[in-house]
Structure 1
Amino acid sequence: MAENLSEAGLDTIFRTARTANTYRPDSVVTHDDIRAIYDLVKMGPTSANMQPARFVWLTDAAGKARLAAHASGSNAEKIKAAPAAVIVAMDTNFHEQLPWLFPHDPTAKHWFPDAAAREIAALRNSSLQGAYLIVAARALGFDVGPMSGFDQGALDADFFAATPAVKSNFVATIGHADPASIFDRSPRPDFETFNTFA
């Protein structure tokens, strides 16, 4: 069913891919590009296909400035200068969607009666979807700059006041990176450092 990716494909997604800090002046991310990224993201596995991530895409100057107002340090300028930015958020009421997302069991909606447990599940699985977004964007030839430096309370009050069950997880910028802005790669541990066989 699965086939190995080429060495070039693995480089594109992992080995030579880098976090973007700034983007080329000619870099463009269209709405069609964004839809293509999401069409890959949604295929990644989540628990009971809960799909708790909610994505808010910002492609015009006003939207990016609105988001940048909640970012810390240099992240604000990175957001404003990027071709596109996205809020990766999570819906803690994801269970309401399970009757159609997980039709294998009509009782799935009732598996998550506890709000605290739903928040844990939403955070875990929306983080997975955020990682899929990074991989999907890279696979389609884009660079990504994920960031967690922002005021979550202020961002959520601004963007999700009407849907309080939705909370931000992290933010990312997307485009074609300016190679001059790429840092030297930080250390990556070998297998024995953080892995064991039990």
Structure 2
Amino acid sequence: MTIVDIETQGLTDEAFATLFTEAHTAHSFTEQPVSDETADAIYELLKMAPTEMNTQPLRVTWVRSREARESLAEVMNEGNKAKTLAAPLTAILSMDTN
């Protein structure tokens, strides 16, 4: 069975492609700020993702100011520094092990 043979649970071909076969990581950003409402909406979607035994370990730290992103970039892999500094908002995804 190939991926195209799998039942898509009512997704249109366009939605399936957007989610799985054509999705990619963003490497460039506009200078437009990301509102708190948009960040909240992103979190509302991502908190619904399945987790092991419904433990909900995800923690999100939003890094918005230039100064905070510069501090973060100091400890990042060289390949990610420029993207982080250019982004209007960075999300650090971590896990609560307790």
Question: Structure 2 residue aligned with 1:10, among 1, 16, 38?
Answer: 16
Q: In the alignment, what sits opposite 2:55?
A: 50
Q: Which position in structure 2 is the counterpart of 1:68?
A: 73
1:75-90 equivalence runs, <5 A: 75-90=80-95
1:147-184 deviation digits (Å, cap 9, x = unpaired): xxxxxxxxxxxxxxxxxxxxxxxxxxxxxxxxxxxxxx
The counterpart of 1:20, out of the listed 20, 26, 45, is 26
In structure 2, C-alpha distance between the alignment counterparts of 1:30 and 1:17, rounded to whole Å: 23
Extract unaligned runs of 5+ from structure 2: 1-7
Structure with the greater alpha carbon radius of gyration: 1
2:42 to 25, 37, 46: 37
Task: Summarize the Cα distance change of 1:28–1:8 in structure 2 as closer, same or farther, 3 Å threshold.
Answer: farther
- Paired positions, count: 91
Report SS of the residue matched to 1:87: strand
CA deviations 1:80-111 (Å, max 9, x no partner) are 10121111111111xxxxxxxxxxxxxxxxxx
State the TM-score, normalizing by the size of structure 2: 0.78
Q: What SS does the corresponding residue of 2:82 show, helix, strand or coil? A: helix
CA-atom RMSD, angstroms? 1.9
Residue identity over aligned pairs, in percent, reads 35
